[in-house]
Structure 1
C-alpha cells in the first residue's frame, strides 16, 4: 500500500487573500514505512514574504526568487502523488492551498477524500491533549531536535514516524521489513553417517518367541 506524507509552507494563512505555497515536501510510504523516496521543492511565490510567515519557516523573497514557479512544477508534483492516499497534519489547510494553486494553473484539484488528517487521528486518540507535531514527537519519543524552524520535508519525515505510532506502533511495518530482509536462511546441521539397524530377529529371539507361544492357548501367531 503506497501513501504520501505531505506538508507545505506558505506566505500566510489564506489563499483567497493572495497567499501562496512556497515549499512542498513529500515522503513516500509503502505499508506505512518510509521507502527513502521523497519529493521536495521550493517555489517562487511571485510576491513578498510577510514577516510573520518568515519567522515560521525562514524563507525570504530573495531566496525563493531563484526557484521555479508553481506552474513549472505542477505536473511533476501530481505525477509523484499519483492516485495514492495523502497523510497530512491539519489536512484542510494544505489541501486548500494546493487546490488553489492547481486551480490557478488549470490542473485537476485533489479530492479532499484522499487525505488522512493526522490532527484528527491524534485528537481522537488523545482527547484534550496538544496535538501539534512537536507535542506528538515528544509523546512518542521521536527526535525532533533538528526542527528549529518549520520545513516541509523535515516535517514530513517526522510526521511519517508520528503516523506510524498513531496507527499503533512498529508492528504495521514488520511485513515490509521481512520482505526487505528476504527469505529466512535455514541452517542444516552436519551429522555423521550411521549404519542401518538390523530388523530381522536373531536365533535367540526366535527361540524365546517359540517358548512364549507354548504357554498361550491357541495362539494366532502360530498359524
Structure 2
C-alpha cells in the first residue's frame, strides 16, 4: 500500500493528489495522534549551534562511560551511527530503569521514526532526542523528514523512504476509510488513535497493483476531510456560512 501511495505524492505542491483531491498531513494532526501537549506546539526543534560530540550525547542518554561509547560508535559513509544490537543489549542489562526506557525510546526514534540506516541509530537523532526532555516538539521534524523523503523518492522514481511510514499510513487510513465517529473517545485521556489502529485488523493480501487501482478511482466523497479524532475547535473548520472547509493548514 505504501509503495502505491508514494506514487501519488505531488512534489510541486507537497501533497498527495488523487484526481481532483489533494490531501496532506498537518502539524495539528500529527500533534494530536502523537499525544504531544499543546504547550509544545511553538517549541520547534532546531539544531543548536554548538552540538556536543556524539559520544558525549550518548553518555548523557545511556549513562555509560566514554570508553564504552568510543568502542560502540561506527562510521558509515559520511555519518556516525551506533548499531541497534549494542543498544538492545544495554536495554536488557542496564541497572537504571529510567536509562533503559531512554535508550529504548532513542532506539524507536532511530529505527522507526527516522530510519536513515537500517539497524543503526543516526547521530542526528540524538540531537533531537536530547531536546525532547526540554519540552521541544518532534512533530515538525517528523513531517519535514516525511516530505523530504517523499520528494526524494518521487524525483528518483525509486529509492527507500527515510521516515516513519507507519505514521503516514495511519494518517492516510484516518482520512480514507469511512469510519464510525465516536466523538466522546477523543475527550478521554486514555484514548489513543495509534492504539486503536494497532488493534484494528488489517488486510495484507492486497497487491500494489490493486492499491493503484483503488487510488486511481478515489472520488471526493471517499475522503474524510477531517480525521475523526481531531477536536473541531483545534482546527479551521468554518469559513463564513460554509462548514468543514478542507483548509487544515500546515
More RCO (CA 8 Å, sep 6+): 2
Provide TM-score, normalisation by structure 2. 0.19
Q: Whose radius of gyration is greater, 1 or 2?
A: 1
Q: Going by fraction, where is helix more abundant, 1 or 2? A: 2
Q: Going by fraction, where is strand more abundant, 1 or 2? A: 1
